[in-house]
Chain A
Amino acid sequence: MSKTRRDFIKISSLSAAGIFAGAKYLQSAIPGNATKLGEIGNLNLNRTPTYCEVCFWKCAGWVHKNEDGTIKKITGNDDDPNCNGRLCPRGTGGIGMYYDEDRLKTPLMRVTGKDGKQTYREASWDEALDFIAKRMKEIKEKHGAECTALLTHGSGGHYFGSLIKAFGSGNVAAPSYAQCRGPREVAFLATFGEGLNSPEPTDIRDTRCLVLIGSHLGENMHNGQVQEMSDAIDKGATIITVDPRFSTVASKSKFWLPIKPATDIALLLSWMHEIINNGWYDKKYIEKYAYGFEELKDYIQPFTPEWAYGITTIKPDQIRETAREMANAAPAVIIHPGRHVTWYGDDTQRVRAMAILNALLGSWGRRGGFYIPDITSVPKYPHPHFPEPARDWRDAMGGKYKLADLALASGVCDATIPTPDLDCHIKAWIVNGTNLIMTLPDQRKTLDAINSLELMVVIDTMPAEITGYADVVLPECTYLERWDDLRILQGRFPTISLRMPAAQPKYNSKPGYWIAKELAKKMGLGEYFAWNTFEEKLDWELKQVNSSLEEMKKIGVKKLTREYDDIYFNDGEDIEFNTNTGKIELYSTALEEEGFDPMPRYTPHQEPPEGFYHLNYGRAPMHTFSRTTNNPNLADLMDENVVWVNPKVAKEWGLENGQEVYLENQDGIISDFKIKVRVTERIRFDSVYMIHGFGHTNKKLTRTYGKGASDSQLITRVLTDPIMGGTGMRGNFVTFRFEKESEAQS
C-alpha cells in the first residue's frame, strides 16, 4: 500500500534491527554530521545530466552529488517536456537502483559439479565473453546466425540489437509490444495510418473531455500525461472513467462507469450508435477525411444503449449522457488508447473502436484531442550494412500475425519450442533488461522455450528470475553509471537528451555498450562498433545536428523547433492519410484484406466459474513492472502487493482485511506465496485486483523475495489476438486457498 505512518513501537523495533542495509549508505553518503539542518543547504551539489531508465517514459533529469562525489538525489530537467522538471516517485527513487546491494556484481557462468549439481561460478569478463562468442559461432555454424534472438527492454536494445543484427539475425523483440501496447499501434495504424508510439500524442493539457477505458492514469505514472491530466482537472475538463474498479482516476472523474469486465467493445459500439444517430459526429471532418461512414452507420444500428446495458451493466441513461458529454467537448476530446492493452484477445478491435470514436468526434489532429508529434532524426555513427537474415521468427507463425508492425517476444518464444509442423529454429537468446519469467504470460511455455535453447545470456542490473536460467549472466551497471545512446523522442516539439555517468560503475559491472562492443570484437564484428570511446560516438552524432557533447553536458535536454507549423490540422486542410484509401478508415480495408472484421465486433468472453473471480492487475505509481520491487527506496513506499476483494465476497469466504491467502487459478496453478487480502468497496464483486510485479521467487532479491503474489504466475490462459499476436492476459480467474496441500499434510 501507499506509505502510511508507522507507529512508534514499530519504528523502534525496525531501527533496532538496522532498518535496511540501505540506511548505512544514506549516512555514509553524507560527510560529517551533515544530517543537521542548515548544513545540507550548504553542500555544493554538482550535477550531471541523465534520462531515467526506471520506466519507458525516459524523463530527463539531473543527478546531484555530495561534495565527496557520492550520488545524493535525482531531480527532473525543467526543459524536458516528458517531466517538466518533475520526476515521478520511481525517477526520484532511481538512486535506489544504484545503491541496491543485491545488484549483480560480476559475470557468472553456469557450471555442473561432479555431483551433477548446477551452480554459478564467478568469471572474468574476458572469460565470460570468450565463452559466449565461441558458443555463438558454434550455433552459427550448426544452425545459422538467424537462429539467435535478442529479447530486450530499454537502452541496451540499441547495442545488443546492433550486435545480433550484425551477426545475421533479425529476431529483435521487446515484450513491450505483444505483451503490452502492440494492439493499439495496429488499431491506430489501421484507422489513421499512424501508430501512437511513445509518448502518446494525446493533447490532454488542452482537452475538455478525457475518456479512460481501463486506463488507470495516475496509478500508472506516465509522468507527462499525469501532469497534463492534473492541468486538465484545473481547467475543469470532464473525465469519464470506464473500469470495474474504482481506480484513483475514477475518483477524480465526473463519470465513473463500473463496467462488467470484458464488455468494453459493447459500450464503445453503443457510444458510436448515440453519436452517429443523434448527428453528434463531426460532419465536415468525417465527410472530408473518413472512409466507410455509411457502412459504419448501418453496422451500428442494433447497438443501442439498451442493448449495451444488458451486456455491460452500464445504465442506458449513463451511456447517453456520457456520449453527449464527449460530443459537447469535441473535437477537444480524447478517447485514450491506453498503453497495456493486451486483455482479451480482441484487443486490436477494441482499440479500433476507440480510434473510430476519436475519428467520429474529429479529435485526431485537433487541439485537445491528438496532436501531430514531431521527432528529429539524428544520423547514427556509421557502421557497415547489416546482413540480410535467411529467415526469422515469423517463419514459425504459419502465416499468422502479418499485421504486427514489430516483432513479438511471444513469437520468438514460440519459434524456440520445437514443433513438428512449424519452422521453430531459434537456439540462442540474449536477454537484456527484461525479466521474461514475469513479463511473458504462461511461465510453463517460457520455461519450455528456455529448455530448448543451446545458449542463453542474460544481461541485467539485478538478479531477476530470468538470470537463474542463464548459461552466462552479465552484470550491467545502472543508468546512473553509464553513457547511453541519445534519447530521441517525439513530442509537441522534438527533443534530444543526454545520459552520462554520474559515478563509476560499482562492483565489476559494465555499461551495455561496452559489453556489446567487446562481444562484437570477440565475434569478429568489431567494425559495427567502430568508435573508440562512447563519448566520441555521441559527439559525432550530436555534431550532425549542430550540437556537441560539451553543450549537452551543460543542458541535458535540447529542445528543437518543429520543421513545419503543423501540430494540428488546419481547418479544411487536404490530408492524405497513410491507409489504403488515403482516408481515416472507419471501415478498415487492411483488416478486411487479411480476413478480419473491418469494423469492431463485440464477442462475449468467458465468465468466471462459480467461486472464481476475474484476475485484474495493474500498476502502482512507485513501481515499474517487476524490476523495482527490490529497490530500497521504492520498496520502502510499497514492499508487497495485496489482493483487492469486495466486502460481499470477503464475507462469503470469511476473509478479513490483512488475512493471508494463496490464489489458485482456473488451471490449478497456486501462487508460490501468500498474499494479503484488502477488503475494499473499490472492486466489483466479480473481480479481484492486484499490482503486477510482486511475488519474486529469487532469494537473491533479498528485499522483495516472497513478498506478495505474482499475477504473472497465475496468467496461464492466454487469449491471443489473431490480428497481431498480442497475448491477452485478462482471461484468467482465481479463487482463494487457505493452505497448500503440502502444508495440509505436514
Chain B
Amino acid sequence: MRYAMAIDTKKCVGCSDCVVACQTENNVPIGHCRDWIVEITDGTYPELEIEIRSERCNHCENSPCVRCCPTGASHYEDGGIVVVTPNKCIGCGACITSCPYDARYPHPDGYVDKCTFCMHRVKKGQQPACVSVCPTKCMYFGDLDDANSEVSQILKKRKYKTLIPEAGTKPHVFYLI
C-alpha cells in the first residue's frame, strides 16, 4: 500500500479552503499551516499563464526528514505516510532544514508538525480533510498499489509532475498539468 495524492492544477483556484479545513481538522494553531497555496505567473501581459498549487508534505518514499531525525520521531506509517510522533520529537529542527519542500513547522508545544495525509481519517475510510472539502474537487487521494484507485486512474489518464524531482525524494504528491 502506497498512499498518494494527485492535485489538478487545471482546476485549483487557490481558494485556500484546504488550508483552513486542515487547520480546523487538525487543530493547527492559527499562524501556522500544514498545507498552503503557491501561485506562479509566467509571461507578460497579455500572454500569461498561472499555475496554482496546493502544497503540503510530499510523503516522500525517500524522505530526508526521516533519515535525519535523531530520535526516530519522524517515521513511516503504513502506506508510506510520513509522521512525527510529538512526544519523541525534541524540536531540534533538523527535519525542517532537510525538507526540500519546507513542509514542516515548529509547533508552539515544542515539537515539529506537518501534514499526516489526515491519517486518523484515512484509517476510518475517510478522505483527508483537504480532499474532502475542496470546492473544485481538484484533489485525488488513494493507494498507488491499487490500479483501480482514483489516484492511480487519474495518473494513468493525465500528464503530471512532482516537485523538485532532482532532490531524489520520490514524492507521493503529484501535480496534474
List residues of chain A with CB under 8 Å of any chain B CB.
2-8, 11-12, 14-15, 19-20, 22-23, 26-27, 29-30, 34-38, 40-41, 72-76, 83, 85-89, 92-93, 95, 218-219, 221, 223, 226-227, 229-231, 233-234, 246, 248-252, 256, 258, 621-622, 632-634, 636-638, 646-647, 680-685
Contact = CB atoms under 8 A, between A and B. Distances in A.
Contact of A221 (B19, B33, B87, B135): B135
Contacts of A87: 17, 133, 135
Contact of A684 (B32, B38, B39, B45): B45
Contacts of A30: 27
Given A87-B17, A248-B52, A230 B11 contact: yes
A146 B72 CA distance: 74
B20 to A, nearest CB: 5
26 contacts: A2-B39, A3-B37, A11-B31, A14-B31, A15-B29, A15-B106, A35-B107, A37-B83, A37-B120, A41-B121, A73-B21, A86-B17, A86-B132, A86-B134, A92-B21, A93-B20, A221-B15, A226-B135, A246-B41, A246-B48, A258-B46, A621-B17, A632-B30, A636-B23, A646-B45, A681-B44
A229 B124 CA distance: 30
A3 B10 CA distance: 19
Given A85-B132, A218-B136, A226-B13, 18 more contacts: A2-B14, A2-B16, A3-B36, A5-B33, A8-B93, A11-B31, A15-B31, A23-B29, A40-B27, A41-B120, A72-B24, A230-B11, A252-B10, A252-B11, A622-B15, A680-B41, A682-B41, A684-B45
B135 A88 contact: yes
B13 A218 contact: yes
A616 B145 CA distance: 49
A139 to B, nearest CB: 44
Nearest to B22: A92
A517 to B, nearest CB: 33
B116 interface: yes
Contacts of B133: 75-76, 86-87, 92
Contact of A251 (B50, B85, B86): B50
A15 B105 CA distance: 11
A89 B38 CA distance: 16
B40 to A, nearest CB: 11
Contact of B37 (A2, A6, A93, A229): A2
Given A37-B119, A230-B138, A633 B30 contact: yes
B20 A637 contact: yes
Contacts of B41: 246, 680-682
B162 interface: no
A5 B36 contact: yes
A223 B20 contact: no
Contact of B17 (A4, A27, A37, A92): A92
Contacts of B105: 6, 8, 11
Contacts of B10: 233, 252
Contacts of A233: 10-11
Interface residues of B, number: 58
Given A5-B102, A221-B135, A248 B31 contact: no
A20 B13 contact: no
Contacts of B87: 36
B113 to A, nearest CB: 9
Given A227-B136, A622-B20, A37 B30 contact: no
Contacts of B16: 2-3, 89, 621-622, 637-638
B56 to A, nearest CB: 11
B96 interface: yes
Contacts of A4: 36-38
Closest 7 CB pairs of A and B: A41-B120, A218-B13, A621-B15, A19-B31, A251-B50, A230-B136, A73-B24
A246 B32 CA distance: 30
A578 to B, nearest CB: 34
Given A23-B108, A89-B19, A633 B13 contact: no
B106 A11 contact: yes
Contacts of B107: 35
A668 to B, nearest CB: 30
A634 B20 contact: yes
Nearest to A257: B46
Contacts of B19: 3, 89, 637
Contact of B96 (A8, A223, A252, A682): A8
A30 B28 CA distance: 12
A12 B135 CA distance: 32
Given A41-B120, A226-B13, A248-B13, A92 B20 contact: yes
B159 interface: no
A685 B106 contact: no
Contacts of B26: 40
Contacts of B44: 647, 681
A27 B31 CA distance: 13
Contacts of B27: 26-27, 29-30, 34-35, 40
B63 to A, nearest CB: 17
Q: Which of A29, A76, A230 has the most CB of B within 10 A?
A: A230
Nearest to B47: A681
A89 B44 CA distance: 30
From A3, A12, A246, name the one whose CB has the most chain B CB atoms within 10 angstroms. Answer: A3
Interface string B81-92: 001011100000
B23 A35 contact: no
A236 to B, nearest CB: 11
A476 B116 CA distance: 38
B156 interface: no
A72 B28 CA distance: 12
A88 B15 contact: yes
B148 to A, nearest CB: 19
B109 interface: yes
A458 B123 CA distance: 48
Interface in B117-155: 119-121, 123-124, 132-138
B165 interface: no
Nearest to A234: B11
A218 B138 CA distance: 13
Nearest to A4: B36
A86 B93 contact: no
Contacts of A8: 93, 96, 105-106
A75 B22 CA distance: 12
B50 A37 contact: no
Contacts of A11: 31-32, 105-106
Nearest to B120: A41
B106 A246 contact: no
B135 A223 contact: yes
Nearest to A233: B11
B17 A15 contact: no
Contact of B23 (A85, A86, A249, A633): A633
A164 to B, nearest CB: 36
Nearest to A223: B135
A1 to B, nearest CB: 8
A23 B31 contact: yes
Contacts of A682: 41, 45, 48, 50
Contacts of B132: 75, 85-86
A621 B135 CA distance: 11
A251 B30 CA distance: 31
B122 to A, nearest CB: 10
A35 B14 CA distance: 27
A95 B45 CA distance: 40
A26 B23 CA distance: 10
B99 to A, nearest CB: 11
Given A4-B38, A37-B116, A92-B21, A621 B14 contact: yes
Nearest to A225: B135
